Chain A
């Protein structure tokens, strides 16, 4: 290999590289600073003020937090429903996507078409999805008609406190086609050699799944859980649409719609209490952080990396 001119000055090549890198990374860097981390600090900052639009802010220390935790009428409800919905939808989505991925893990005719079908709900925008399921869940809608046919009682799934969260979770499951595709790829990566060896040793399908496939899938499951939990906890569209029509105080938003993104929006943008809304946002951030940390920490005990100790 002929030495290129730059090789005579080793430091220069590296500096060149670093400069190019910095140039290329300016947009991302700006974004991280000004759109992510500074605003994060700002949210915390604003939450320390009592600020009701259209008025002016005044410093209040941790008063907003104190109010939320002790006096606010909606706060604990919003935590409860956000977490309930988050866990339910993530767990159900995980099971659903696993089952479908397993079913599609064999060469069956039309496999690609099936994959397309299961993925489709993912691309439908949330408002359209909610409107459509509102029709399905409607008091006179098809789901109720079927329930009544089987002797059940007509239920307003989207207004009845007992059924709202499961109903919404079901919609989340329907939408989780992207998880299926990821899992399918993961399943494809489970080493055939292990599975074949196990089969030879007499293990049945269930045992093969539980002892080999599942452990190999844990990284993917972990990633899916994390991403879908963060996404699902931010649910907003159903609350926004249920609260529509009449402005503040005109209608009743059932408790189960008081997800944290919505209470943040209502507190801040409809009622004008920006300081308190920022506190809600920051608490939400901490909550997500806690679950992320929990997932990461517990993952050590159940996450299985290939090349590590097979359990």
Chain B
């Protein structure tokens, strides 16, 4: 009798284990590569013969993005798979907020995908540890190399190129400016506003519940309904102001020399904080939620400083769905006029079992025609110089309803990219995410006015230097 009881228990356990095994394993299994339509026509610049034996290979590509972005990538993959018959690509969609954590945990688990789009701050760190396949020769068969500033460099080598050339820009709501009869932000960098002009316009465009703007003596700062300008709450974007003010966060000659404590950088941070604290033209930095720029431009902000991807992800569509009439201008100047360029990087991991397939996929994807949906919608800016010099190419790119009027875009974005854009520091400085974590916490009291930028930076400079060294 005792045996029966024990047997019974054991049998139940086994049954459960089996059921669970099926359930749990089923969801994590890799699907079989779909049957490929054999297509003989291949027109790409770079194309390789499948390895001897013609073995089919399934590689994975990890990315972040909302449902529509993922769908666009899937369509791109379909195209890729139809143009060759030995590689199929499976998309792994990871939440942007979890992206770093997920890749790290995959690394520990030994479970990295073959390829991924990688967030910029991670690239050099992973290159340092030899996790990335070298990318310098990826464009060997191409008519031209990408814009040089889009290359990530480590130890004398180029380890990857951005998939897009995203600039920081000054977006604005044209209707609000018209209603106030104020000149919109200039699209031509030659006419760029000085910082004082910028503040002045912002004050005119900041309104309280009674309709008074910030110049008016009756202005009520505790009841603002429309701000002159808002900033995306991303800390890394603040570096552009240090550069514009004649300084920077890192010494261009030495990526391990942190110079954020020098007056130019410190002052730039204070100037941003003062937009809220002194001039009342902006909400406290960091208090608006990231990535709802179209809502803000529609309702509470006349200007919004954010990256070019806003065109494709939010602003273009909002024209049609919400009647948003938006425009784009160059950034205001401080000591000089600078904007930063950045863009995620498609990488292949050195742990991949299918390195050749991985690189071929990435090289194919890097061709502009193949990520056309991203370009055309305004999510990505192309990375090859010809698109910035040749008028026909420019029009093909940006003359469509998603974008602001072509002349405005050409001047404020395309030309601007050639003349005033520098790469964000993570192209050549390592450990920027550790640095930004510290900086973000250090600056918190500055935005609320509890501390000056100088005090905050001086208090944190030791930790900032340590972070830069990888601590």
Contact = CB atoms under 8 A, between A and B. Distances in A.
A269 interface: yes
Contact of B440 (A159, A249, A271): A249
A74 B441 contact: yes
A249 B462 contact: no
Contact of B234 (A72, A161, A250, A272): A250
A127 interface: no
B126 A54 contact: yes
B236 A251 contact: no
Contacts of A255: 441, 444
Given A246-B96, A249-B236, A54 B460 contact: no
Nearest to A266: B437
Contacts of A77: 441
B286 interface: yes
Contact of A269 (B104, B235, B290): B104
A52 B437 CA distance: 16
A269 B101 contact: yes
A246 B290 contact: yes
B290 A270 contact: no
B131 A54 contact: yes
A292 B96 CA distance: 39
A248 interface: yes
Contacts of A73: 438, 441-442, 460, 463, 467
A252 B436 CA distance: 9
B327 to A, nearest CB: 25
Contacts of A243: 97
A308 interface: no
A247 B99 contact: yes
A249 B235 contact: yes
A156 interface: yes
A71 B290 contact: no
A91 B234 CA distance: 37
Contact of A247 (B96, B286, B441, B462): B96
Interface string B277-296: 00000000011011100000
B108 interface: yes
A245 interface: yes
B441 A249 contact: no
A54 B104 contact: yes
B454 interface: no
Contacts of A159: 287
Interface of A: 52-56, 67, 71-74, 77, 156, 159, 161, 243-255, 258, 265-266, 269-272, 274
B69 interface: no
B129 A252 contact: no
A252 B235 contact: yes
Contacts, number: 113
- Closest A-B pairs by Cβ, 8 of them: A249-B436, A54-B107, A73-B463, A55-B129, A248-B433, A252-B286, A269-B101, A272-B104
Contacts of B235: 249-252
B463 A251 contact: no
Contacts of B131: 54
A73 B459 CA distance: 10
B471 interface: yes
Interface residues of B, number: 46
Given A52-B470, A71-B466, A248 B104 contact: no
Given A245-B289, A246-B291, A253-B441, A270 B463 contact: no
B221 interface: no
Given A54-B129, A71-B471, A254 B100 contact: no
B233 interface: yes
25 contacts: A52-B125, A54-B108, A54-B112, A56-B129, A71-B466, A72-B463, A74-B438, A74-B441, A161-B444, A246-B290, A246-B291, A247-B96, A247-B97, A247-B98, A247-B100, A248-B121, A248-B437, A250-B235, A252-B235, A258-B441, A265-B101, A269-B101, A269-B105, A270-B100, A270-B433
A250 B235 CA distance: 6
A251 B121 contact: no
Contacts of A254: 444
A135 to B, nearest CB: 14
B290 A250 contact: yes
A100 B236 CA distance: 49
Given A245-B97, A271-B433, A271-B437, A53 B234 contact: no
Contact of B119 (A53, A247, A269): A247
Residue in A53, A54, A272 whose Cβ sees the most chain B Cβ within 10 Å: A54
B352 interface: no
B434 interface: yes
A270 B101 contact: yes
A151 to B, nearest CB: 14
B432 interface: yes
B471 A249 contact: no
B97 A246 contact: yes
Nearest to B108: A53
A77 B463 CA distance: 14
A71 B462 contact: yes
Interface in B431-471: 432-434, 436-438, 440-444, 448, 460, 462-463, 466-467, 470-471
B444 A252 contact: yes
Contact of A249 (B129, B433, B443): B433
Of listed B126, B236, B440, residue having the most chain A CB within 10 A: B440
Nearest to B102: A269
Contacts of B289: 245
A266 B100 CA distance: 10
Which has the most chain A C-beta neighbours within 10 Å: B131, B437, B438?
B437
Given A73-B438, A73-B460, A269-B105, A248 B100 contact: yes
B233 A252 contact: yes
A250 B438 contact: no
Contacts of B126: 54
Interface in B42-92: none
Given A72-B463, A245-B289, A246-B234, A274 B441 contact: no
A81 B466 CA distance: 23
Given A54-B104, A54-B112, A251-B234, 8 more contacts: A52-B470, A54-B131, A71-B463, A246-B96, A248-B100, A251-B290, A271-B100, A272-B104
